[in-house]
């Protein structure tokens, strides 16, 4: 008798690590997993979302910088003024 287990993807982030969700083209903080699902939340807080664990990617230095800038209060205020 064999048991079927879902293999873990090559990259499994640590809770609290900032990652890229390739499915949604979004950056979020990894909050945990349940089966094949990963749970992420926006870096500055907000509503959590889910994606497949195998769609998570490590942030490159450039993506990390862009993510930090977009999460900053100054970026949010500049976006409001552009409308």
Segment-wise mean pLDDT, segments of 10 residues, the chain, 83 residues? 62 90 92 95 92 90 65 58 50
Look at residue 67 in the predicted model and tell me its pLDDT.
64
| Cα(76)–Cα(62) distance, integer angstroms | 19
| Cα(27)–Cα(32) distance, integer angstroms | 15
Look at residue 45 in the predicted model and tell me its pLDDT.
87
| Cα(54)–Cα(8) distance, integer angstroms | 8
DSSP letter, residue 45: S
- The DSSP bridge partners found for residue 27 are 20
Look at residue 59 in the predicted model and tell me its pLDDT.
83
DSSP helix/strand/coil, 13:
coil
């Amino acid at each position: 008798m064999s048991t079927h287990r879902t293999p873990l993807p090559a990259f499994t982030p640590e809770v609290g690590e900032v990652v890229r969700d390739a499915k949604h083209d979004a950056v979020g903080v990894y909050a945990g997993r349940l089966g094949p699902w990963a749970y992420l939340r926006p870096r500055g807080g907000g509503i959590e979302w889910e994606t497949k664990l195998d769609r998570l990617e490590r942030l490159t230095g450039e993506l990390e910088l862009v993510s930090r800038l977009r999460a900053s209060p100054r970026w949010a205020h500049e976006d409001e003024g552009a409308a």
